[in-house]
Structure 1
Amino acid sequence: MFVLFQTVINTGKHYSFRKILNAPLPSCKCLLNRNISDAPKKFITFDEVVAQRRAEAQRSLVVQVNSESSFNELYGYCSRYASINGIHHYKNNGGEHFMLIEFASEDNLKDILRSCGSHHKDLDVMALQSPFLWFRAVANKKEKFTVPETQLINKDGTLPVNEDTLFEQLSHCKTVSDQIQVLYEHTMLNDLGVRLRYMVARQLETIMESLYANMAVRPFGSSVNGFGKMGCDLDLVLTNELTQEMTDPNKRLVYQEKKCEGGRSPWQRHMELMGELIELRVPGATRVQRILNARVPIVKYAHELSGVDCDLCYSNMSGVYMSELLWLYGSLDPRVRPLTFVIRRWAQTVGLTNPHPGRWITNFPLTLMVLFFLQQKTKDGFVLPPLKFMSKIATKDDIRIAEDYVNCTFVRDLNRLPPESYGQSQSNLQTLLLQFFEFYSQFDFQDKAISINEGAPVRKPNNLPLYIVNPIEQALNVSRNVSFEECERLKMEVRNAAWQLESCTEGDRTDDWGLLGLIEKRTTRGLKKLLRVGNSHRLVSVKDLFNEEDTSDKRLSKKSDKESAKVAQTVKVEKKEQKIKFKNTTIANEVYRIRRDKIV
């Protein structure tokens, strides 16, 4: 259930960071204040969520169809063999149509798989079973099916929201808090996106389960930690951990096993094998790349049937536990994820983050910066507890040791957290966003490091420009790649964002009011300001600026036929010679988009 915040914003002529922060608490539909006497909130564990998603994938199929109109025929055909829970529709990057079908049980899925037809005999392929199928058209007259008992759950379920549509919705929000919540709800990874990512993991398990004992392919990263957005990449880890039952010394019959030989590490050789199998045996896998000399060897590939880019590694459980930690923090308070989303979007807009690796900050350190800020104690309390507190109350059931003996022990059941240990701040999203910018505009990056383990600044162990402690492997700096110039630009941008946010929430509403002034590209925002006439806040029509046909017609109507012909010929020559020139293609594209969408 989403929480919407409605705030009352005071207006004034003078700007100061403290004006909004020190204002009395605005009226809200839902206050997030927690008292010690309140009934504890019921949380579900990360393992329960993963088990639920894996169970959904084990009783689901992805079927390629002709279009969304194939729903009735596909439902009628599959309902002959099994009970159907629901069907989702989406299109991949190539515009092909697919439907994800969830059946009532795994036995129903097996019945469907037994009814699948044979492979083409005239194609040079090796037969295999996979949860990705296609719905073949009938050769003769089409069969008649009964009307489905259910409707298609969604159409184009993985299609990201249109940017112009999103900005229009944000402009109609009453408060900045509402804008942040709307941005989060429209850009977060939805249910179908998560289902598809678990289906990709299930496909690898089905194909490779005969190669490893107790094999599992687990998604981790943004796909499962609750901070993923639509279209995010899929990180996968292949594990084949031996259970205590499998290593029981009382069992006298033991499997013969193959030892890894050669100069390279076993992980590199395993990932080299995985790359070959994915390239040869996984339907939909293309553009396979093997990156074997990295600290964690991975295989990158694109999955065309789901439209997802994948990174597969071997036995990297520390990444899974990091995803679990972020998921727990995001579940503690409903403001954590929306605030993180808007800060990530702001960083992308001002160019602090980049889709390609380099000397700039990435989304993961930014997320840790948000969590660290929410751990700070203010006059009205704090939002999140430090990691050391969550590790302190952990029990023996919470003990997790990853590869290289990395300790990943912290409380897994959030219901054991005392109510007074989190969610004490009553600040709404707008106030938290402004406080975030103000906090880091005054933070001592030169001498202090950011650590969510301590929940307070710690002394930097070296002179790197930006130091953010890895919560799992505390000897590592997750921002060690950030250059001095990028760190200075980060400090400058948070100061600018604080002023921008406060100035955009005061006075009359304009096109860059509230959140729009932070997340809209500067080229678009600057062009709109240039097209305004004086202080009227009206935008001059592009037609009025560059098209003189209407005014010319009015002049022609007042002249004689002879004079009109001369004027028309002159205007025609001037238009032919005069061409609109823009500074660059970006501004030109924005002008054409504004003209097309009738923004001005």
Structure 2
Amino acid sequence: MAARMSLLLWCRLRFPAPGTGQTRRAPGRPRLSQVRLSCSEAAAQRAPGRQEADSKVGTRKKTFPEVQAERLEQAQRTVLINCPAKISEKKFLKYLSHHGKINSHYFYESYGTYDVVEFSEKDSITSLQDVIRTPGIEEECAVPFKSRLFTLTLKNPSTQAADQAPVHCHKQSTILVSDLVQKLCSADSVSNQLYTLMDEYQLTEENIKLRFLACSLIQEIACAYFPECRVKPFGSSVNTFGKLGCDLDMFLDLDEIGRSPTRAKTGPFYMEYQMKRVPSQRIASQRILSVIGDCIDNFGPGCVGVQKILNARCPLVRFSHQPTGFQCDLTTNNRVAMRSSELLYIYGSLDSRVRALVFSVRCWARVHGITSTIPGPWITNFSLTMMALFFLQKRTPPIIPTLDQLKDLADAEDKHIVEGHDCTFASNLNKIKPTENTETLDVLLSDFFEYFGNFAFNKNSINIRKVNAF
């Protein structure tokens, strides 16, 4: 495996030469005089706007929990409406605005045309639901589960749709290769080609909103049994490294149920809920997911292909959510994965080069068949990400801190022990000092391949926790 990795990593990612339809190989390690630019020259070669974004030290960056909470709350004020492909957008929005102010909306396609509508107030959804009718019972009987997933029909389809243009739909999948090649050819440097690749492949704002909305819709189903539960996205959907079209990992959070309220003075007594007891947390997770899986299968609008994979190392329910087009995995008691998502979010938010390098390496690996969507003896995207982070920690000066350095910056509220593992690290991005490293992205990519092309995988290991670890 070590020899194979060494050979594969010596391969070079191919990029179109600017202004031509041909491709050229990324060069081997250039001479120092060719690549070691001054601070001003290195900054000038970055994609427009990225230098400014990285240099705004005084601007407070939101923590991962803050971003999660904001998006989850935003999803609670959002509805998903299946619409005709041709509709008067102006009249449609006017109709909805009778129920409250609309913050934003956008159309997309997935087994039909859908509109994601975010209201400014949650009460607007209640007002809208009050006038929505249940489907008529014809040959099939509708399961009377009311969610925030609606269907809009025209009263007179033949006349109303005849003079309407199709609505503009936002993309939910990656760009066509032919279109990507044209954009790469128009870039003025290899670094900007890599940034363009990331910009075209990364999750859009609309796609992220849709992922949180999908979790919110599944939460409504789970709340039938656990009213205080939360369903949150984790993994590539929130860690800033997600690619358009990636699966949606969901976490059923039951923590709020287990937290005891402040005990009032009630004399010499305590009151507790009577609850079913099981031998282990794993068995509890299996039983909970089994029931929720049945509910999703039987009552969840648009949820198809439900599989309950309860004997896996981490029990899960897998299904396809057709209205959003996402393949979903629902787990519970998976807190290490949530902390890993936050750690990657921190690294991806520190410097724009981090995410751009990871996207480039992952794209290269997929093109060369080093990674695959089919389970097997492949290196994973997560492993490639760890390699990129380790490489960036080893630069002089380092571009990102080690995990131990993040732990040293942690406050008391950052302390997390999960299943006996110390998952403590600073969550406040503003406490992390920006790097003084000014290397351009093309240099980093070239050096990444050279570094791991010479890496002794049979002797050394990769450890992002310590500075000098191998």
Tell me, yes or no, whether TM beats 0.5.
yes
Asked if residue 105 in structure 1 is aligned to residue 121 in structure 2, the reply is: yes
Asked if residue 137 in structure 1 is aligned to residue 139 in structure 2, the reply is: no
Q: Deviations over 1:485-529 (max 9, x none)?
A: xxxxxxxxxxxxxxxxxxxxxxxxxxxxxxxxxxxxxxxxxxxxx
Asked if residue 90 in structure 1 is aligned to residue 108 in structure 2, the reply is: yes
What corresponds to 2:455 in structure 1?
443
Contact 2:108 2:172 in 1 (8 A): yes
**2-side partners of 1:225 and 1:140: how far apart?**
43
What corresponds to 2:65 in structure 1?
47
Asked if residue 398 in structure 1 is aligned to residue 410 in structure 2, the reply is: no
After superposition, where does 1:409-420 map in structure 2 within 5 Å? Answer: 409-417=424-432, 419=433
How far residue 331 of structure 1 moved from its aligned partner, in angstroms, is 0.4
What corresponds to 2:363 in structure 1?
345
**2-side partners of 1:23 and 1:141: how far apart?**
64
**2-side partners of 1:142 and 1:103: how far apart?**
30
Q: Deviations over 1:331-371 (max 9, x none)?
A: 01111111110110000011110111111101011111111
Instruction: Name the SS for the 2:317 alignment partner.
Output: strand
Alignment-mate amino acid for residue 199 of structure 1: L
What corresponds to 1:407 in structure 2?
422
What corresponds to 2:274 in structure 1?
256
Q: Deviations over 1:124-174 (max 9, x none)?
A: 12211212111122269989xxxxxxxx8x623314311101111111211
How far residue 243 of structure 1 moved from its aligned partner, in angstroms, is 5.7
Q: Which moved more, 1:386-395 or 1:19-28?
A: 19-28
Residues 384 and 261 (structure 1 numbering): CA distance in 2 closer, same or farther, change over 3 Å? closer
What corresponds to 1:124 in structure 2?
141
Residues 271 and 454 (structure 1 numbering): CA distance in 2 closer, same or farther, change over 3 Å? same
What corresponds to 1:172 in structure 2?
186
Alignment-mate amino acid for residue 342 of structure 2: E
Contact 2:250 2:330 in 1 (8 A): yes
TM-score by length of 2: 0.85
**1-side partners of 2:156 and 2:272: how far apart?**
52
How far residue 274 of structure 1 moved from its aligned partner, in angstroms, is 1.8
Instruction: Name the SS for the 1:436 alignment partner.
Output: helix
How far residue 64 of structure 1 moved from its aligned partner, in angstroms, is 0.2
What corresponds to 1:310 in structure 2?
328
Residues 424 and 302 (structure 1 numbering): CA distance in 2 closer, same or farther, change over 3 Å? same
Asked if residue 231 in structure 1 is aligned to residue 249 in structure 2, the reply is: no
Residues 51 and 60 (structure 1 numbering): CA distance in 2 closer, same or farther, change over 3 Å? same
Contact 2:175 2:201 in 1 (8 A): yes
Asked if residue 285 in structure 1 is aligned to residue 303 in structure 2, the reply is: yes
Contact 1:235 1:310 in 2 (8 A): yes
Contact 1:450 1:456 in 2 (8 A): no
Residue 184 of structure 1 is aligned with which of 180, 195, 198? Answer: 198
Asked if residue 453 in structure 1 is aligned to residue 465 in structure 2, the reply is: yes
Higher relative CO (Cα under 8 Å, sequence separation at least 6) belongs to 2
Alignment-mate amino acid for residue 360 of structure 1: W
What corresponds to 1:324 in structure 2?
342
How far residue 213 of structure 1 moved from its aligned partner, in angstroms, is 4.8
**2-side partners of 1:210 and 1:287: how far apart?**
21
Instruction: Name the SS for the 1:388 alignment partner.
Output: helix
Q: Which moved more, 1:16-25 or 1:326-335?
A: 16-25
Contact 2:36 2:439 in 1 (8 A): no
Q: What is the CA RMSD across the aligned residues, in angstroms?
A: 2.8
- Which structure 1 segments of 5+ residues have no match? 1-6, 8-14, 144-151, 459-600
What corresponds to 2:318 in structure 1?
300
Alignment-mate amino acid for residue 465 of structure 2: N
Residue 71 of structure 1 is aligned with which of 89, 105, 124? Answer: 89
How far residue 21 of structure 1 moved from its aligned partner, in angstroms, is 7.3
Contact 2:28 2:446 in 1 (8 A): no
After superposition, where does 1:6-45 map in structure 2 within 5 Å? Answer: 17-19=29-31, 23-25=35-37, 27=41, 28-29=43-44, 39-45=57-63
Q: Deviations over 1:364-419 (max 9, x none)?
A: 111111111000132xx1200100010122111111233x23321110101122x2
Contact 1:89 1:157 in 2 (8 A): no
Asked if residue 220 in structure 1 is aligned to residue 237 in structure 2, the reply is: no
Q: How many residues align?
A: 428
TM-score by length of 1: 0.67
Alignment-mate amino acid for residue 239 of structure 1: D
Q: Deviations over 1:406-464 (max 9, x none)?
A: 321110101122x2xx4221101111111111111111211111011114333xxxxxx
Instruction: Name the SS for the 2:108 alignment partner.
Output: strand
How far residue 69 of structure 1 moved from its aligned partner, in angstroms, is 3.1
How far residue 247 of structure 1 moved from its aligned partner, in angstroms, is 6.9
Residue 382 of structure 1 is aligned with which of 398, 401, 406? Answer: 398
How far residue 24 of structure 1 moved from its aligned partner, in angstroms, is 3.6
